[in-house]
A and B are shown apart, each in its own frame.
Chain A
Amino acid sequence: MGTTPRMTLPTQLVLRALLEDPSREMYGLELCAAAGLPSGTIHPILARFEGLGWLDSRWEEADPHEQGRPRRRYYKLTPNGAERARTALDRSSAKAPRNPPILRTRHLGGAS
């Protein structure tokens, strides 16, 4: 899973929010607020990065009955994911903004 996904603006915002503190775990709504995105946008992006191995996710350890609420799902960048995210963000900000995603993937040399 070494490909670099499309670096759309929402994607970049999510990555920047996660890179603020790569060791910090955040749940979906928290990420929405941090990235300034509407709630529906976040899950496809998170699923994409999780599928690519950039993100790790886990359930909150607290017992839902004790907490009186459903468990949250926490997301965190993997060490490799954080590195790749930084590279991808650097490249996307350096590149012309209208490059098609597929070509950006090639230039990054991410396809494997």
Chain B
Amino acid sequence: MNEYCTSTPAVRAASSLGIAMAHMHPYIAREPYKPHVEAVQILAILGECRNTIGVLEELLRQPEANHQNIKSGVLTLVNMLHSHQDKSYELFPNDHMACAALTKATMDYKQYVLSLPNALMTSTRAVPRPPSIQVHVTPNAQRLANLTARMLPAAHRGRYVEELQAELWDLASARATKSMQLLYAFQQLGRVWQLRRELLVPGRCRGEVLLRWASWVLESDVRTWIPLSAIVILALINVVIEQGWGSAFLAAPTAWVFHKGVQRLRTRWGIQPPDKDRARK
């Protein structure tokens, strides 16, 4: 941070201006030509200018420096230089060497003024910004998140738009890359139907009706075996008619397979047929 700030054009320009002003120093300080009191005044102005440049440099090095602070510091410096320039002309009307030094200082001053906008922009970039400015949420991820929310029931859309955007922001603030943000958005989109279902009928799983019906059937031997026996007998009759008794004999183990299947399902699902319970009692 500090290294970055010290290399900004504002600081470089300010430093070069300070050096140029220092060139003038010997001419200003030549006491035989000008009264000592005036030279002391100019030296004081030069010193003040250098101090202001130092303050500006220090300001640019600080993390809390903002655009307004920098601009204010630069303007103070410019005012001081104006004041110094005016006094120098008054003090050295016939001194060519002093005027040449003054011209050099003025040129540097112009260069400095021209470099101000760029310097300020660079300085602003160097200053740490509040999180809201630094965080970059990928627009495509935002669009996908909005699309996800749009597929939800109308009553919940607004909430999920904001919630998903907040999470995207959190991801971005944690320096998630574009692809990570997109992955997040795609993951949300991939689960949108599940979310929609949960919002419409909370706690209801896919195929729950079928599962509930199957367990109701398996809880009773009557409900289980009457339909199954009917299916097996009808199937066997069909085989006899179509293919003869031999095929029907070969298909007979189907009944055993059904029996085993039912037993297995009951064991897996922990169902004890109430008919059997009643018989035991």
Which residues of A does B touch, CB under 8 Å?
A: 1, 3, 5-6, 27-29, 38-41, 43-45, 47-52, 59, 67-73, 95-96, 98-103, 106-107
Contact = CB atoms under 8 A, between A and B. Distances in A.
Nearest to A48: B198
Nearest to A5: B203
Given A99-B270, A102-B211, A102-B212, A70 B202 contact: no
Contacts of B268: 98-100
8 contacts: A29-B167, A29-B170, A40-B189, A43-B195, A73-B162, A100-B269, A101-B208, A103-B269
Contact of A70 (B165, B190, B195, B205): B165
A96 B270 contact: yes
Contact of A51 (B162, B184, B186, B198): B198
Interface string B79-110: 00000000000000000000000000000000
Contacts of B189: 40
Most buried by A among B166, B169, B188, B205: B166
Which 3 A/B pairs are nearest by Cβ-Cβ distance? A51-B202, A68-B132, A40-B187
Given A29-B171, A102-B208, A107-B270, A73 B199 contact: no
* Interface footprint category on B: 35 or more
A47 B184 CA distance: 18
Interface of B: 130-133, 135, 159-160, 162-163, 165-167, 169-171, 173, 184, 186-191, 194-195, 197-199, 201-203, 205, 208, 211-212, 215, 268-271
A111 to B, nearest CB: 10
Contact of B199 (A29, A51, A69, A95): A51
A96 to B, nearest CB: 7
Given A39-B187, A103-B269, A44 B198 contact: yes
Contact of B203 (A52, A67, A70): A52
Contacts of A52: 202-203
B195 A100 contact: no
Contact of B135 (A29, A41, A43, A69): A69
Given A43-B188, A99-B270, A69 B203 contact: no
B100 to A, nearest CB: 53
A72 B201 CA distance: 24
A68 B166 CA distance: 11
Contacts of A102: 205, 208, 211-212, 215
Contacts of B133: 68
A103 B205 CA distance: 13
A80 B167 CA distance: 28
A26 to B, nearest CB: 12
A68 B131 contact: yes
B194 A44 contact: yes
Given A5-B203, A39-B187, A39-B188, A103 B195 contact: no
Contacts of B171: 29
A69 B269 contact: no
A107 to B, nearest CB: 7
Given A48-B198, A73-B163, A38 B187 contact: yes
Contacts of A71: 162, 166
Given A40-B187, A51-B198, A51-B202, A73 B215 contact: no
Contacts of B212: 102
A95 B268 CA distance: 11
A101 B211 contact: yes
Nearest to A8: B205
Contacts of B269: 99-100, 103
